[in-house]
Chain A
Amino acid sequence: MTGFILIKMSLLHSHAPLVLVFLLSFVVGLLMVVVFRYTSDQKAIRIAKDHLKAHLLAVRLFQDQLQVVLNSYWRILGSTGGYLRLAFKPLIYVIVPLTLLIVQLDRYLGFVPIESGQPFLVKARTANADVLDQTSLQLPHEMALTAPPVHVPARSEIIWRVVAEKDGRYDLGIKAGGQSYSKSVIVSQGIERISPVRLRGRWLERIFVSGEAALSANSLIQSVEVNYPARNISFAWLEWGWIWLFFVLSLVSGFLFKSILGIEI
């Protein structure tokens, strides 16, 4: 469903990312407060929040009595801990699906595809610096190198500067010590699913930052990375990373729905 929406949105005008983030924030805000409602102890949360407020009021009401103020402050800390503990259970329910959703969305919204005619860097990290001299880049016909490769032996890295002639999905070939690998590159002006890096091993990191299959375990190449520009979304006279905009808007959405649905958060 999300993929379908994304495809449709990619056909829309340049505000598509903003519209998409708005839509997602609205839906996620609603879904999350509903999940929170049914996975949390609403009564306990209400009581915990009320106790917090009471201790805050006590500081104000009995401000001339230092001992009361100190006790109240201590109780505020205790109540805050209790409140966070109550909020932790629903967090467990939502964190996995939401994290996976955010990871997937980040593939589409976190980076802008390479533009044709604009040079970009391809960086390969090898298992050791000795392999650098045996490493080469195989480009499709629509791409060309704009500068000789740069070797950085201290970090076992080799960097190429490349430019694409026209939009499309390409596979770059990388040869190292007789082994061949590929790395996808998207040249486009819309919203595309982007994998900025291909990794060997590092399973957890791969889940979060890579959208491609792992390099083989005996590969001489540890990672191949394309430096896609980060996407900024203009909203309210500010440039936002999508995740921050999503954070703010889904909070607003959640706040609205919590009030409408009478849910304690």
Chain B
Amino acid sequence: MKLNSEFRGKRPRALLPALILVIALVLLFPLRGEAYAGPGAGFAVLSSFWTLFVAFLYSAYAFMTWPFRHLLRTLRRRKAYGQAQIKRAVIVGFDGMDPELAQRFISEGKLPNLAKLQQQGTFRKLRTTFPAISPVAWSTFMTGVNPGKHNIYDFLARDQSNYLPFLSSAEIRGPKRSLKIGKYTIPLGKPQIKGMRRGTPFWHWLGKAGIFSSVIRVPVTFPPEKFPGVLLSGMSVPDLKGSQGTFCFCTTRRQGEKFREGGVRIPIERHGAVLRTYIPGPDDPLAGNSGRELRVEFEIRPELDGSRARIKVDSERFTLQVGEYSDWIPVKFKAALGFSARGICRFYLKEVSPEVEIYVTPVNIDPGRPDLPISHPVTYSIYLAKLFGPYATLGLAEDTWALNEEVLDDNAFLTQCYANHHDREQMLFDALDKTKQGLCACVFDTTDRIQHMFWRYLEEDHPAARGVPRDQRPDVIPDLYSRMDNLVGRVMEQIDGDTLLLVVSDHGFKSFARCVNLNGWLHQNGYLALKPGKHESGDWFDDVDWSRTRAYTMGLNGLYLNLKGRERQGIVQPGNEAESLKEELRAKLDGLPDPSSGKTGITKLFDCDAMYAGPYVENAPDLIVGYAAGFRASWDSVMGKVTKQIFEDNLKAWSGDHCIDPRLVPGVLFSNRKIAEEKPAIVDVAPTILKLFGVALPGNLDGKPWTVAVEASS
């Protein structure tokens, strides 16, 4: 070729400048064919122009319609903003932040920003709900009504027809119709998701008045409801299996007990230098009700140095050090006929030598390609994923079960918690940036999870920390409060004088050192009967004789009568018999002492008839058990199990709790404005915000608006 011979004729050192010159000239003065330099450049150029074109269209649409929308909005908002005392409300929720601990750390000078709010604005204890459980309290927070009107009484509710539990906040079922062809049952349509929480969140009322809201991770907002604003669902979003979080522990060790709850143990098989195992996924949608699960297999190649392993999942390959988490890894569970489910999970390499152990987080719904709606609009979760990368979507994303079962250690758990927390901080600050007017509310779970799991280090003699020397106990909870204070400080920098800042928690925290199996007590005192020859029951009342049972407990605080006409095998007559039975139980259980120490285990039983009012009271327990500080329902009792032992030590890492007498665990209320109310309650938040925005209060609210100072404290 002539051209090549010409090039060959030149000295090599002239080649590079010539090449650079060619590139420069080609780029600057493209001729016929050289304007196009392959699909890569073609895609880049096309994508860029396409993006700019779409952006231009969006912008043109926004600009052209903005005057009309602005006019409409102004007309709609005139009434609200005309009487509004604030331009923006920012609510930072810290699930479980305790007022006594907050005051203690403020006094120790560890929380300068919260101290500033206390001095210049408000710091009060915030009365919580009965019971003091997050889904109940946050439902009341958002609706401004008592549980009798929003229908959430616990994480779990019981099926009156069979005494079995179900998730109280949402119900997910398969599609209504399916087509059976041979061995396949083909679903026709999408899964049915039914929200069980009733009542109207206050941001819906704000939206009707034309006020925009950004709501992030407030519990019990799944499935997301339509309203004028954006919302990312929080607690109660399931994992891809449909559970509230099922981790996977892959191990070459053959022995090991089945996990009590929250996880599955999966064997790792050795194939020479390669090890293979799998992540269990959702049920095969084509297998009908057979319960056959889908799987994603993965390979592990331990490296010779014994400190690392290479992992291959689908097309993803990555290397992990022992004690290191992977990024969020996309996984695809493939069924036949092209059906699949997509999720994301993180891998944690626990051990490589001599055995191999890998923990895999519950498979979260992929926020970038959600198989179930986890936000409103559905593009909001996608927007956040594109902006910040994949993030945990599971309602209870911090894997407390894995720490409880000692699959994760303290550090691994904390790393996971703060990684999730970091993502949510980014979301909050983006929402603050995008919501210059209106409501911006974000709830952080980190405070709740870490206090649950690390309270043991806060107490001198907690049973779960026995044997850990004082000087080896990490300051996890003081550090937690300090981090949250730092977050509040950064939020304060983002707001102006027209913004109301509320820092709230749904409940406080206390120690959980002793477990109480109330079902055991009911059995031993003749209120709950077992089948002949049985002295203990299995989970979920296996071996309970309902025809002779008058009362039982399920969940964390609810005590139920086996009421005739309500429960399927009820024997207690409604009316006088039921009332006298409640009186009898209260007389015996109020002040119930722990025989080992003489301390009071239960302070008081609260009659739900006196506390709740509304259309859903029939679903409520009959009594709420108010455990004393240091006590809580035992792990067995929560799961409907009757044991001989009534009081026992809690040896789990889950060592702090709030499911006790709600009077003992109020939440916190900090504000940048003076609030006159001396005993504010969480039920008052919704009416207060509505009033401050000048929106008329709906008639069915139970809360009362606080008197809030017009000017923000300087």
Q: Encode B18-47 as 1/0 by CB contact (under 8 A) with A.
A: 010011011100011110111111111111
The answer on a CB contact under 8 Å between B40 and A90 is yes
CA distance A253 to B27 in the complex (A): 24
Q: A56-B55, A99-B26, A102-B34 are in contact. Are A251 and B43 (CB under 8 A)?
A: yes
In B206-242, the 8 Å CB interface with A consists of 212, 230
The answer on a CB contact under 8 Å between A54 and B23 is no
Could you tell me the distance in whole angstroms from the C-beta of B88 to the nearest C-beta in chain A? 12
The answer on a CB contact under 8 Å between B37 and A209 is no
In A213-257, the 8 Å CB interface with B consists of 213, 243, 246-247, 250-251, 253-255
* Chain B residues within an 8 Å CB radius of A106: 32-33
CA distance A254 to B436 in the complex (A): 43
CA distance A59 to B383 in the complex (A): 11
CA distance A61 to B54 in the complex (A): 15
Nearest A residue to B385 by beta-carbon distance? Answer: A50
Could you tell me the distance in whole angstroms from the C-beta of B665 to the nearest C-beta in chain A? 37
* Chain A residues within an 8 Å CB radius of B55: 55-56, 59, 73, 76
Give the dominant DSSP class at B's interface.
helix
Q: Please tell me the number of chain A residues within 8 Å of chain B, measured between CB atoms.
A: 69
* Chain A residues within an 8 Å CB radius of B44: 83-84, 87, 91, 265
* Chain B residues within an 8 Å CB radius of A44: none
The answer on a CB contact under 8 Å between A61 and B32 is no
Which A residues lie at the B interface, using CB under 8 A? 28-29, 32-33, 35-36, 40, 47, 49-69, 73, 76-77, 80, 83-84, 87, 90-92, 94-96, 98-100, 102-106, 110, 204, 207-209, 211-213, 243, 246-247, 250-251, 253-255, 258, 262, 265
CA distance A3 to B43 in the complex (A): 28
29 contacts between A and B (CB under 8 A): A32-B39, A33-B39, A49-B47, A53-B386, A54-B386, A55-B55, A56-B55, A57-B386, A61-B230, A63-B61, A63-B69, A67-B436, A73-B55, A83-B48, A84-B48, A92-B23, A99-B22, A99-B37, A102-B36, A106-B32, A106-B33, A207-B3, A208-B32, A211-B2, A212-B2, A243-B36, A247-B42, A251-B42, A265-B43
Give the dominant DSSP class at A's interface.
helix
Among B374-382, B490-498, B600-608, the one that faces the other chain is: B374-382
Could you tell me the distance in whole angstroms from the C-beta of A175 to the nearest C-beta in chain B? 23
Could you tell me the distance in whole angstroms from the C-beta of B390 to the nearest C-beta in chain A? 10
Q: Encode B450-463 as 1/0 by CB contact (under 8 A) with A.
A: 00000000000000
The answer on a CB contact under 8 Å between A94 and B41 is yes
CA distance A91 to B39 in the complex (A): 10
Q: A63-B62, A209-B31, A243-B32 are in contact. Are A95 and B26 (CB under 8 A)?
A: yes
The answer on a CB contact under 8 Å between A253 and B32 is no
The answer on a CB contact under 8 Å between A99 and B436 is no
The answer on a CB contact under 8 Å between A59 and B59 is yes
Q: Encode B46-88 as 1/0 by CB contact (under 8 A) with A.
A: 1110011011001101110010011001000000000000000
Nearest B residue to A243 by beta-carbon distance? Answer: B33
CA distance A77 to B33 in the complex (A): 28
Nearest B residue to A62 by beta-carbon distance? Answer: B434
The answer on a CB contact under 8 Å between B37 and A250 is no
The answer on a CB contact under 8 Å between A255 and B22 is no
Which B residues lie at the A interface, using CB under 8 A? 1-3, 19, 22-23, 25-27, 31-34, 36-48, 51-52, 54-55, 58-59, 61-63, 66, 69-70, 73, 212, 230, 315, 377, 379-380, 382-387, 389, 434, 436-437
The answer on a CB contact under 8 Å between B51 and A56 is yes
Q: How many A-B residue pairs have CB under 8 A?
A: 179
* Chain B residues within an 8 Å CB radius of A204: 22, 25
5 closest cross-chain pairs (CB), A and B: A254-B39, A87-B44, A54-B386, A36-B40, A54-B387
Q: A52-B51, A62-B434, A66-B66 are in contact. Are A87 and B39 (CB under 8 A)?
A: no
The answer on a CB contact under 8 Å between A73 and B38 is no
A103: contacting residue among B34, B38, B54, B385, CB under 8 A: B34
A57: contacting residue among B19, B32, B73, B383, CB under 8 A: B383
* Chain B residues within an 8 Å CB radius of A66: 62, 66, 70
The answer on a CB contact under 8 Å between A265 and B387 is no
Nearest B residue to A249 by beta-carbon distance? Answer: B39
The answer on a CB contact under 8 Å between B434 and A59 is no
The answer on a CB contact under 8 Å between B36 and A254 is no
The answer on a CB contact under 8 Å between B386 and A265 is no
The answer on a CB contact under 8 Å between A208 and B34 is yes
The answer on a CB contact under 8 Å between B377 and A87 is no
* Chain B residues within an 8 Å CB radius of A60: 58, 379
Q: A99-B37, A254-B42 are in contact. Are A61 and B212 (CB under 8 A)?
A: no
CA distance A61 to B32 in the complex (A): 43
The answer on a CB contact under 8 Å between A61 and B40 is no
* Chain A residues within an 8 Å CB radius of B62: 59, 63, 66, 69
New A-B contacts (10) at CB < 8 Å, excluding given A68-B436, A87-B40: A40-B40, A55-B55, A56-B55, A64-B212, A69-B63, A80-B48, A83-B44, A96-B26, A212-B2, A246-B36
CA distance A213 to B4 in the complex (A): 11
The answer on a CB contact under 8 Å between B379 and A91 is no
The answer on a CB contact under 8 Å between A50 and B387 is yes
B39: contacting residue among A110, A213, A250, CB under 8 A: A250
Could you tell me the distance in whole angstroms from the C-beta of B252 to the nearest C-beta in chain A? 30
CA distance A99 to B19 in the complex (A): 12
Could you tell me the distance in whole angstroms from the C-beta of A8 to the nearest C-beta in chain B? 19
CA distance A265 to B43 in the complex (A): 7
The answer on a CB contact under 8 Å between A32 and B38 is yes
Could you tell me the distance in whole angstroms from the C-beta of B29 to the nearest C-beta in chain A? 8
Which residue, B2, B69, B389, has most C-beta atoms of chain A within 10 A?
A: B2
Could you tell me the distance in whole angstroms from the C-beta of A196 to the nearest C-beta in chain B? 11
Q: A61-B377, A204-B25, A207-B3 are in contact. Are A95 and B41 (CB under 8 A)?
A: yes
